[in-house]
């Protein structure tokens, strides 16, 4: 009877091993999810322009056959920045949209004729923390301007390239943790003329848009594989006690578990690290923030943070391209990491903004650290022919402030540095 049970167990082990191997090797093809926007999707589409702001842009009717086709004429008679575009609504009430948080890239099939250098794509997210159904302007715009020479057939864009414009952050007065790109509840998708204002006729022909991602995360996929393997691990422990002659089989299970555990650790490290710069992401510095806050609350050990934002970063992307912009971000992160203390934790906060967590650090020391970094960045040539500066905001936690207020104080100081001419270090004094 035991031999029959063992045979069944061994057979199941082999089957699950082959299935797991197949799941690992075929991960991308199995998990991939594609959301297509074209004339067959049945979405509510509409043309819009600066007419809502009192502008005089003339827009043609929307022609739909195998694609969407429209044109508009921009004029500088009323508004300084005329615009026009085509929008797609995933929900007529702009509340319940589509979750694109697992989308990694966007592919566009778009033909454009006109004098503009860029075309803007905007994914607008509804979140009740900052949005209302009555105000479409309260939707968070995740924007990207694309130069028209890149509009090739099926042009691919990484969603990590999208950013939230500063004017919206200032207008909505959102805290730092809500100012990063967000794709969990996209209710509107817009394609329009870009940031460069060019007057005259602009013609568009949109064939389709594809949002490519995964229906579940890679981490969840590997976790489900591990869950399926748990019964086999338990059974292996029993067999170790009962049968010495299955040691070889037990060794195979241990090797397999080691491989799966190693893969799980790799995925965990990837989840805590910014893919572009190699520094921590927001999730990656959570432990450092929690430890520093606990030290402050229990032992009154000082905690300071430094917010860093690259000055005029958009102009780098516009003038040199996003590839150069990515190199600038990566090289700046490397430079900063080489000029901070081993106890400091440096993370990309979103777009061109970074944060430095300084444990056991007073405000004046944190200001000196920020000033040192400002000087090193201003004096470095991160890419051949491209130099940048950065603005800094520094804050220190006090008995009257929470961690949320600490980040707000640093963010306010950063905006002060920006408003005072950039390439500066500003700080919030301790009350």
Q: What is the pLDDT of residues 16-56, one digit of tens each?
A: 667 666 656 656 667 778 899 998 888 999 999 988 888 88
Q: Round to whole Å and give the CA distance between 387 and 375.
A: 12
Residue 395 burial (CB count, 10 A)? 28
* Local confidence band at 261 (pLDDT 50, 70, 90 cut-offs): very low
User: For the residues of 178-235, what is the DSSP string, one character each?
Assistant: GSS---TTEEEEEEEE-SS---EEEEEEEEEEEEEEESS-HHHHHHHHHHHHHHHHHH
Query: If 0-12 CB within 10 Å is exposed, 13-18 middle and 19+ buried, where does residue 304 land?
Result: buried
Condensed to tens digits (0 to 9), the pLDDT of residues 144-187 reads 999 988 887 778 889 999 999 999 999 999 999 999 999 999 99
DSSP labels for 275-316? TTT-SB-TGGGHHHHHHHHHHHHHH---EEEEEEEETTHHHH
Q: How many domains does the chain have?
A: 3
309, 391 contact by CB (below 8 A): yes
Q: What is the mean pLDDT of residues 375-404?
A: 89
* In a shared domain, residues 337 and 420: yes
Higher model confidence: residue 76 or residue 160?
160
258 CB-near residues (< 8 Å, 6+ apart): none
Residue 363 lies inside a defined structural domain of this protein = yes
Q: Which distant-in-sequence residues (6+ apart) come within 8 Å of 341 by Cβ?
A: 358, 369
19 and 91 in a common domain: no
Q: Are residues 237 and 309 in the same domain?
A: no
Q: Mean pLDDT of all residues in the chain?
A: 84
Looking at 71, 352, 353, 426, which residue is catalytic? 352
| Residue 277 counted as domain residue | no
What integer is the mean pLDDT of 315-331? Answer: 93
For residues 144 and 221, which has the higher predicted lDDT (pLDDT)?
144
SS (H, E, C) 342-368: CCCEEEEEECCEEEEEEECCCHHHHHH
The answer, yes or no, to whether residue 391 has pLDDT greater than 90, is yes
Q: Is 352 a known active-site residue?
A: yes
Q: How confident is the model at residue 257 (pLDDT cuts 50, 70, 90)?
A: very low
* Contact by Cβ (8 Å): 348, 354: yes
Question: Does residue 119 sit in the same domain as residue 45?
Answer: yes
Q: Note the pLDDT of residue 46.
A: 92
Residue 395 lies in a domain: yes
Closest CA to 108 of 39, 145, 156: 156
Tens digit of pLDDT for each residue in 406-416? Answer: 999 999 999 99
Domain, as residue range, for 362: 283-427
- Looking at the domain assignment, is residue 33 inside a domain? no
| 323 and 226 fall within a common domain | no
User: Is residue 379 pLDDT above 50, yes or no?
Assistant: yes
Report whether 124 contacts 182 (CB < 8 A). Answer: no
Whole-angstrom distance, CA of residue 41 vs CA of residue 35: 10
Give the pLDDT confidence of 78-104 residue by residue, as tens digits: 777 888 999 999 988 889 999 998 898
pLDDT at 244: 62
Of residues 191 and 55, more confidence is placed in 191
Mean local confidence (pLDDT), 242-267 = 48
Asked whether residue 166 falls in the same domain as residue 109, the answer is: yes
Of 172, 189, 214, which one is at a domain's C-terminal end?
Answer: 214
Q: Give the contacts of 59 (CB within 8 A, at least 6 positions apart).
A: 47, 49, 51, 70, 71, 72, 84
Q: Is residue 278 part of a domain?
A: no
Average pLDDT in the 346-365 region? Answer: 93
> Among 6-20, 37-51, 129-143, which stretch is predicted with the lowest mean pLDDT?
6-20
What local confidence, expressed as pLDDT, does residue 255 receive?
Answer: 42
- For the cut 80, the answer to whether the pLDDT of residue 270 exceeds it is no
For residues 267 and 177, membership in a common domain is answered with no
Q: Based on the domain organization, do 372 and 296 belong to the same domain?
A: yes
Say which range, 26-35, 167-176, 290-299, 368-377, has the weakest mean pLDDT: 26-35
Return the half-sphere exposure (C-beta side, CA atoms, 13 A cut-off) of residue 94: 20
pLDDT top residue among 287 and 318: 318
What's the pLDDT score for residue 149? Answer: 86
Is the confidence at residue 123, as pLDDT, over 60? yes
Rounded average pLDDT over 217-236: 72
8-state DSSP, 103? E
Q: Is 12 in the same domain as 86?
A: no
For the cut 60, the answer to whether the pLDDT of residue 268 exceeds it is no
pLDDT for residue 334? 94
Q: How sure is the predictor about 108, in pLDDT bands with cuts at 50, 70 and 90?
A: very high
Tokens 């893919």 sit at which residue? 275
Assess whether 60 and 158 both reside in one domain: yes
Kindly report which listed range (1-5, 328-332, 351-355) carries the lowest average pLDDT score.
Answer: 1-5
Give the model's pLDDT for residue 30.
Answer: 74
Alpha-carbon gap, residue 327 to 161, rounded angstroms: 13
Are residue 365 and residue 411 in the same domain, yes or no? yes
Give per-residue burial for 230-260: e unless 16+ CB within 10 Å, then b. eebeebbeebeeeeeebeebeeebeebeeeb
Q: Which of 165, 185, 214 marks a domain boundary?
A: 214
DSSP annotation of 153 = T
Task: pLDDT band for 282, please (50, 70, 90 cuts).
Answer: confident
Least confident of 3-7, 24-28, 232-236, 238-242: 3-7
CATH of the domain at 344: 3.30.70.270
CA distances from 336 to 200, 340, 380, 413 (A): 45, 6, 11, 20
**Rounded CA gap, 177 and 186, in Å?**
18
Is residue 266 domain-shared with residue 332, that is, in the same domain? no
- Say which CATH number the domain at 109 has: 2.60.120.430
What is the distance between the alpha carbons of residues 349 and 327, in angstroms, rounded to a whole number?
Answer: 17
pLDDT at 247 (0 to 100): 64
As a whole-number percent, the residues of the chain with pLDDT over 90 amount to 48
pTM of this structure: 0.48
Q: Residue 132: what pLDDT?
A: 92
Q: For residue 38, give the DSSP letter.
A: S
Q: In what order do the strands lie in the sheet with 425-427?
A: 345-350, 353-359, 303-310, 390-396, 425-427
Q: Which of 199, 214, 229 is the last residue of a domain?
A: 214
């Amino acid at each position: 009877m035991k031999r029959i049970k063992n045979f069944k167990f061994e057979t199941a082990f082999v089957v699950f091993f082959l299935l797991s191997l197949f799941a690992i090797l075929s991960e991308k093809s199995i998990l991939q999810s594609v959301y297509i926007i074209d004339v067959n999707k049945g979405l509510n589409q509409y043309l819009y322009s600066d007419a809502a702001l009192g502008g005089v842009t003339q827009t043609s009717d929307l022609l739909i056959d195998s694609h969407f086709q429209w044109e508009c004429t921009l004029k500088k008679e009323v508004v300084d920045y005329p615009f026009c575009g085509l929008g797609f609504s995933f929900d007529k009430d702009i509340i319940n949209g589509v979750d694109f948080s697992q989308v990694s890239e966007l592919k566009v099939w778009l033909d454009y004729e006109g004098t503009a250098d860029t075309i803007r794509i905007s994914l607008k997210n509804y979140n009740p923390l900052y949005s209302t159904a009555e105000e479409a302007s309260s939707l968070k715009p995740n924007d990207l301007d694309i130069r028209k020479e890149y509009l090739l057939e099926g042009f691919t864009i990484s969603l990590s390239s999208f950013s939230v414009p500063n004017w919206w952050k200032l207008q909505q007065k959102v805290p730092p943790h809500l100012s990063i790109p967000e794709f969990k509840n996209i209710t509107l998708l817009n394609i329009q003329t870009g940031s460069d204002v060019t007057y005259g006729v602009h013609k568009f022909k949109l064939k389709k848009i594809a949002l490519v991602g995964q229906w579940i995360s890679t981490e969840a996929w590997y976790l489900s594989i591990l869950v399926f393997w748990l019964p086999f691990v338990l059974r292996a422990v029993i067999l170790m006690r009962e049968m010495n002659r299955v040691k070889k089989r037990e060794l195979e299970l241990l090797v397999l578990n080691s491989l799966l555990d190693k893969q799980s650790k790799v995925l965990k490290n990837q989840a805590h690290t910014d893919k572009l710069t190699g520094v921590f992401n927001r999730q990656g510095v959570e432990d450092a923030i929690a430890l520093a806050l606990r030290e402050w609350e229990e032992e009154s050990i000082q905690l300071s943070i430094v917010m860093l934002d690259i000055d005029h970063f958009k102009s780098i992307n516009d003038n040199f391209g996003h590839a150069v912009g990515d190199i600038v971000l990566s090289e700046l992160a490397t430079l900063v990491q080489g000029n901070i203390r081993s106890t400091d934790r440096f993370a990309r906060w979103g777009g061109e903004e970074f944060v430095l967590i300084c444990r056991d650090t007073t405000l004046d020391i944190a200001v000196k650290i920020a000033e040192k970094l400002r000087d090193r960045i201003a004096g470095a040539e991160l890419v051949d022919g491209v130099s940048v500066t950065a603005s800094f905001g520094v804050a220190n936690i006090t008995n009257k402030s929470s961690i949320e207020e600490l980040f707000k104080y640093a963010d306010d100081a950063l905006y002060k540095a920006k408003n005072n001419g950039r390439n500066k270090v500003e700080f919030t004094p301790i009350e």
